[in-house]
A and B are shown apart, each in its own frame.
Chain A
Amino acid sequence: MAQLIEFPVKAATRAGHALAEPLRAAWPSHSVDDYGRDPYLISALAPFTKLRWSVTVGGTHHLPANKGALLVCNSRRYSLSAVYAALALSEETERPVRFVGRPDIAPFGPFMRRIGGLLAKPADVLSALSHNELVLVAAEGTSHPRNAGKVPHELVGPAVVAGVPVFPVATMSSTIGRAARVEVGPAVRARRKRRGPLAEVELADQVQHHIQRMLDGFGGVQTGVAPIDWLAEG
């Protein structure tokens, strides 16, 4: 009779338990949702994100309680406004807010996916919106903090297709300070009914206009020292 050579499963399992037990105790073994967002990781990172941004959130009463919506925010270059706005809005609304614009290359892509990032592709945005998710898209980055950049109409299109409202979100943050502000405005309604792609192009323009008005309403920097305020205005 042939002898059965067995891998020392018991020894390996014991070693596995010893190695993995601390990790298992520290991290839940199921924490990602259908899109790969990991609320547990987000809450673990919260102290670090709060070290960088202290965000004041307003206007969340405009957002639907459990339906899908597209949020569009302005973005100062390299400010990661979509990231901090999505995290702050998630905390405030107690609903996952997914931001659009994660790269698709390791290690940044998978990490940003775990904190709620979606690809800047209409298919990804439509998929999330049709499952009643809140999705935040950033307008084109600008060098001036109070200028709203062009809103990408190809990412607004999925909201038109899914029939969900679009909300303007004004964001303001400092390159050196922690203070940041996120303000959600009322839903933007299309001025004219369109059957074709003009619907999203016009809606995107309207959203940009609304964000700009909200940013103007924020006012300029007021440090009390006029030259500094003047310099901060760019």
Chain B
Amino acid sequence: MGGELGSLVAAKLEAEPWVGALVGIDVDPPRRRLRKAEFHLLQPSQRERIVDVVTKFNPHVVINLSVWEPDARAGLAHARKFTADAATAIIGAAAECPSLEGMVVRSGIEVYGRERNAATRPTESAPMHPTSEYGLMLANVEHQAREVGKRVGIAVGKLRLAPVLGKHVPSPLGRLLRQPVVPFSLFADSPFAVIEDGDAARAFVLAAARRLDEPLNIVAPGAITTLQAIMRGRRVPLPMVGPEWYVASKLSHVLGAPIPDHVVELMHRGRLADGAKALQVLGFSPALSTPEVIDHLYAWESVVRIGSIQEAVA
């Protein structure tokens, strides 16, 4: 509930008539004003406390958004540990709640992997073959949720999100695209799709309301290549051929925009998915297309000067 996506989901849930009480757990405080929700500031490692909070509340629905994308808010090692700890604690605690009817977990289209001859636009029925660290982390979360769902007999919805971008979302892809100089793969400038944070939050609310019991791809329509995204953002494109990617990623890390393996994979091999089933099952249709999400990303000012705001107010 403390991350951008979590805060958005909580705010949207508060507005839903079917939601009575709402409890959230995160390592950061909420980023929005929440009127109904009760918030607990807890670390993923505080399993006992998490189990205590969840079982005391005894929810009907649990939404697990506690996925740390590598190099978004934490480095790879921390992201892996936090995600695994949080999944164990929250999914495990949810299983102890007698009133629980359903659980919705955050996953990503990274679970399909981009190995050679992998489907261009995988549907939900495509096998999971993650080829990046992030993909493996998400596949583990899905696996845990599925096992608990089978054991306890509850509905488990898995929302496989395309890379989530938004003005305030910490995302390695978003951060990289907003650098003044952006590398792209000259010989393999493959297309990818993304999803806006507001649309992703809406999908979680719909999935929770309908007690979704299957995986769904949540993808904005359309596609864009890295070069096209760079041109839309009026950044300097830096063509890369192969070995210099290593140097570029190290340099980018120093400049504050690390490039994790799943982002390199996206830029080389593309990342698309078929999101048609979400419309059939949830009636979910993203408000923004992929190019519009990219425009939205660039529409945010790099630095907001406090002085200029004060002048404007005066």
Q: A residues near B, CB below 8 A?
A: 6-7, 9, 12-13, 15-17, 19-20, 23-24, 27, 29-36, 104-107, 109-110, 113, 118-119, 121, 123-124, 127, 130-131
Contact between A12 and B187, CB atoms less than 8 A apart: no
Known: A19-B236, A34-B121. 11 other contacts (CB 8 A): A13-B234, A15-B236, A16-B180, A17-B234, A31-B228, A35-B121, A104-B116, A104-B117, A110-B270, A113-B190, A113-B191
Contacts of A121 in B (CB 8 A): 117, 119
Q: B residues near A, CB below 8 A?
A: 116-123, 126, 180-181, 185, 187-191, 193, 221-225, 228, 230-232, 234-237, 255, 268, 270, 272, 274, 276, 291, 302-303
Known contacts A20-B237, A106-B268, A123 near B122 by CB under 8 Å:
yes
Our pick among A7, A30, A107 for the contact of B187 (Cβ within 8 Å) is A107
B182 to chain A, nearest CB (A): 9
Closest to B232 in A: A29
B230 to chain A, nearest CB (A): 7
Contact between A106 and B187, CB atoms less than 8 A apart: yes
A129 to chain B, nearest CB (A): 12
Main secondary structure of the interface of B (DSSP, over half): loop
Closest to A17 in B: B234
Contacts of B223 in A (CB 8 A): 32-36
A-B pairs with beta carbons under 8 Å apart, 26 shown: A9-B302, A13-B234, A15-B236, A16-B180, A16-B234, A17-B234, A19-B236, A20-B235, A29-B231, A30-B291, A32-B228, A34-B222, A36-B223, A36-B272, A104-B116, A104-B118, A105-B116, A107-B187, A113-B190, A119-B117, A119-B120, A121-B117, A121-B119, A124-B119, A127-B122, A127-B274
Contact between A20 and B231, CB atoms less than 8 A apart: yes
Contact between B228 and A119, CB atoms less than 8 A apart: no
Contact between A30 and B224, CB atoms less than 8 A apart: yes
Contacts of A33 in B (CB 8 A): 222-223
Contacts of A15 in B (CB 8 A): 236
A8 to chain B, nearest CB (A): 8
Contact between B231 and A127, CB atoms less than 8 A apart: no
Contacts of A118 in B (CB 8 A): 120
Contact between A127 and B121, CB atoms less than 8 A apart: yes
Bound Cα distance A32, B225 (Å): 8
Bound Cα distance A9, B236 (Å): 11
Known contacts A32-B191, A33-B223, A34-B221, A20 near B236 by CB under 8 Å:
yes
Bound Cα distance A20, B189 (Å): 16
A115 to chain B, nearest CB (A): 13
Most chain B beta carbons < 10 A, residue from A24, A32, A33, A131 = A32
Contact between A20 and B234, CB atoms less than 8 A apart: yes
Contact between A27 and B188, CB atoms less than 8 A apart: no
Bound Cα distance A106, B190 (Å): 10
Contacts of A19 in B (CB 8 A): 236-237
Bound Cα distance A209, B195 (Å): 46
Bound Cα distance A130, B122 (Å): 12
Known contacts A7-B180, A16-B234, A110-B189, A35 near B255 by CB under 8 Å:
no
Contacts of A32 in B (CB 8 A): 191, 223-225, 228
Contacts of A127 in B (CB 8 A): 119-123, 274
Closest to A108 in B: B187
Contact between A113 and B120, CB atoms less than 8 A apart: yes
A113 to chain B, nearest CB (A): 7
Contact between B180 and A13, CB atoms less than 8 A apart: yes
Contacts of A20 in B (CB 8 A): 230-231, 234-237
Contacts of A119 in B (CB 8 A): 117, 119-120
Contacts of B237 in A (CB 8 A): 19-20, 23
Bound Cα distance A124, B180 (Å): 36
Contact between A35 and B120, CB atoms less than 8 A apart: yes
Bound Cα distance A105, B268 (Å): 10
Contact between B236 and A16, CB atoms less than 8 A apart: yes
